[in-house]
Structure 1
Amino acid sequence: MTVDQRERGALPAASPLRIPAFRRFLLAHLVSATGSAMAPVALAFAVIGQGGGAGSLGIVLTANTVPTLVFLLMGGVLADRMSRSRILFLGNLGAGAAQAAVAVLVATGSATTFAISVCACLSGVSAAFIAPAAQGVASRLVPKEQLQQANALVRVPGNAVKVIGPVVGGFVVSFTGPAWALGWDAATFGVAALLLLGLRLAGAVPSGAGLVADLRTGWAGFRSRSWLWSYTAAGTAVVAAWLAGFQLLGPLVADHDFSGARSWGLVQGAFAAGLLAGTVVCLVWKPRRLMLVCVLASSGIMLPLAALGLGLSLPWVLGAAVVAGIGLDVAIVSWSTILQQQVRDDELGRLSAFNAVGERIAIPVAYLLVAVASAHWSSHRILLVCSAIILLATLANACVRDVYRIRRVG
Structure 2
Amino acid sequence: MPAAAPRPGPRRARRTRRPEWAGRNYTLLTAAAVVTGLGMHGALIAAAFAVLESGGDGGDVGLVTAARTLPLVLFLLVGGAIADRLPRHRVMVAANALNFVSQGLFAVLVLTGDARLWQMMLLSALGGTGQAFFSPAAEGMLMSSVSGEQASRAFALFRMAMNGASIGGAALGGALVAAVGPGWVLAIDAAAFAVAGALRAFLDVGHIPPRQPGGGLLKDLREGWSEFVSRPWLWSIVAQFSVVVAVIGAAESVYGPLVARDELGGARPWGLALAAFGVGTLGGAVLMMRWKPRRMLLVGTVCVFPLALPSAALAVPLPVAGLAAVMFVSGVTLEVFGVAWMTALHQEIPEEKLSRVSAYDWFGSTAMLPLSTALAGPVEGWVGRSQALWGCSALIVVVTALVLLVPDVRNLTRRTKEVTGRTPAAAEPSADAEGAVGRPG
TM > 0.5 fold call: yes
- 2:328 is aligned, of 322, 325, 334, to 322
- Taking the aligned partners of 1:342 and 1:29, their CA distance within structure 2 comes to 24
Give the direction of change, closer, same or farther, for the CA distance of 1:189–1:244 in structure 2 (3 Å limit).
farther
- 2:290 is aligned, of 284, 303, 306, to 284
Unaligned regions of 5+ residues in structure 2, if any?
A: 1-16, 417-441
Q: CA deviation at 1:70?
A: 1.3
When structure 1 is superposed on structure 2, of 273-282 and 213-222 the one drifting more is 213-222
- Taking the aligned partners of 1:148 and 1:363, their CA distance within structure 2 comes to 28
AA at the equivalent of 1:275: T
- Residues 72-110 of structure 1: per-residue CA shift (max 9 Å, x gap): 111111111111111111112222333334444444454
AA at the equivalent of 2:332: I
Give the direction of change, closer, same or farther, for the CA distance of 1:116–1:388 in structure 2 (3 Å limit).
farther
Which residue pairs with 1:149 in the alignment? 153
* Structure 2 residue matching 1:200: 3-state secondary structure: coil
Structure-2-length-normalised TM-score: 0.81
- 1:337 is aligned, of 338, 343, 363, to 343
* Structure 2 residue matching 1:145: 3-state secondary structure: coil
AA at the equivalent of 1:168: L
* Structure 2 residue matching 1:80: 3-state secondary structure: helix
* Structure 2 residue matching 1:194: 3-state secondary structure: helix
Which residue pairs with 1:79 in the alignment? 83
Give the direction of change, closer, same or farther, for the CA distance of 1:191–1:280 in structure 2 (3 Å limit).
same
Give the direction of change, closer, same or farther, for the CA distance of 1:20–1:77 in structure 2 (3 Å limit).
same
Give the direction of change, closer, same or farther, for the CA distance of 1:394–1:22 in structure 2 (3 Å limit).
same
* 1:118 lines up with 2:122 in the alignment: yes
- Residues 155-192 of structure 1: per-residue CA shift (max 9 Å, x gap): 22222233443333334444554434333222212211
- Residues 104-142 of structure 1: per-residue CA shift (max 9 Å, x gap): 444445455544332222121111111111111233222
When structure 1 is superposed on structure 2, of 296-305 and 41-50 the one drifting more is 41-50
Contact 2:38–2:168 (Cα < 8 Å) also in 1 = no
Give the direction of change, closer, same or farther, for the CA distance of 1:392–1:63 in structure 2 (3 Å limit).
farther
Q: How does 1:157-176 map to 2 (within 5 A)?
A: 157-176=161-180
- Taking the aligned partners of 2:45 and 2:355, their CA distance within structure 1 comes to 30
Contact 1:167–1:266 (Cα < 8 Å) also in 2 = no
* 1:16 lines up with 2:21 in the alignment: yes
- Taking the aligned partners of 1:116 and 1:106, their CA distance within structure 2 comes to 9
AA at the equivalent of 1:237: V
Which residue pairs with 2:5 in the alignment? none
- Taking the aligned partners of 2:242 and 2:159, their CA distance within structure 1 comes to 23
When structure 1 is superposed on structure 2, of 172-181 and 139-148 the one drifting more is 172-181
* Structure 2 residue matching 1:136: 3-state secondary structure: helix
Contact 2:276–2:324 (Cα < 8 Å) also in 1 = yes
- Taking the aligned partners of 2:113 and 2:270, their CA distance within structure 1 comes to 23
- Residues 175-217 of structure 1: per-residue CA shift (max 9 Å, x gap): 5544343332222122111111110326741341111112112
When structure 1 is superposed on structure 2, of 85-94 and 292-301 the one drifting more is 292-301
Give the direction of change, closer, same or farther, for the CA distance of 1:301–1:59 in structure 2 (3 Å limit).
farther
* 1:224 lines up with 2:230 in the alignment: yes
What's the RMSD between the two structures over aligned residues?
2.7
Which residue pairs with 2:353 in the alignment? 347
Give the direction of change, closer, same or farther, for the CA distance of 1:140–1:347 in structure 2 (3 Å limit).
same
Contact 1:174–1:262 (Cα < 8 Å) also in 2 = no
- Taking the aligned partners of 1:114 and 1:249, their CA distance within structure 2 comes to 27
- 2:71 is aligned, of 67, 70, 79, to 67
- Residues 39-61 of structure 1: per-residue CA shift (max 9 Å, x gap): 344344445554423x4444333
- Taking the aligned partners of 1:308 and 1:45, their CA distance within structure 2 comes to 26
* 1:404 lines up with 2:410 in the alignment: yes
Which residue pairs with 2:396 in the alignment? 390
AA at the equivalent of 1:61: T
Which residue pairs with 2:29 in the alignment? 25
Contact 2:25–2:204 (Cα < 8 Å) also in 1 = no
Give the direction of change, closer, same or farther, for the CA distance of 1:383–1:73 in structure 2 (3 Å limit).
same
Q: CA deviation at 1:273?
A: 0.8
Point out the structure with max Rg over C-alpha: 2
Unaligned regions of 5+ residues in structure 1, if any?
A: 1-11
AA at the equivalent of 2:234: L
* Structure 2 residue matching 1:37: 3-state secondary structure: helix
Contact 1:41–1:261 (Cα < 8 Å) also in 2 = no
Contact 1:282–1:333 (Cα < 8 Å) also in 2 = yes
Which residue pairs with 1:238 in the alignment? 244
- Taking the aligned partners of 1:93 and 1:252, their CA distance within structure 2 comes to 37
* 1:297 lines up with 2:312 in the alignment: no
- 2:133 is aligned, of 121, 129, 136, to 129
User: Which aligned runs of 4 or more in structure 1 are off by greater than 6 angstroms?
Assistant: none
Give the direction of change, closer, same or farther, for the CA distance of 1:387–1:95 in structure 2 (3 Å limit).
farther
Which residue pairs with 1:9 in the alignment? none
Which residue pairs with 1:181 in the alignment? 185
* Structure 2 residue matching 1:142: 3-state secondary structure: coil
When structure 1 is superposed on structure 2, of 192-201 and 311-320 the one drifting more is 311-320
Q: Give % identity.
A: 36
- Taking the aligned partners of 2:185 and 2:381, their CA distance within structure 1 comes to 31
Paired residue total: 397
- Taking the aligned partners of 1:366 and 1:307, their CA distance within structure 2 comes to 20
Give the direction of change, closer, same or farther, for the CA distance of 1:372–1:90 in structure 2 (3 Å limit).
farther
Contact 1:31–1:188 (Cα < 8 Å) also in 2 = yes
- Taking the aligned partners of 1:249 and 1:111, their CA distance within structure 2 comes to 29
- Taking the aligned partners of 1:165 and 1:181, their CA distance within structure 2 comes to 10
Which residue pairs with 1:7 in the alignment? none
Q: CA deviation at 1:327?
A: 1.3
Give the direction of change, closer, same or farther, for the CA distance of 1:194–1:377 in structure 2 (3 Å limit).
farther
Which residue pairs with 1:201 in the alignment? 205
* 1:215 lines up with 2:221 in the alignment: yes
AA at the equivalent of 1:73: L
AA at the equivalent of 1:293: V
* 1:360 lines up with 2:366 in the alignment: yes
Structure-1-length-normalised TM-score: 0.87
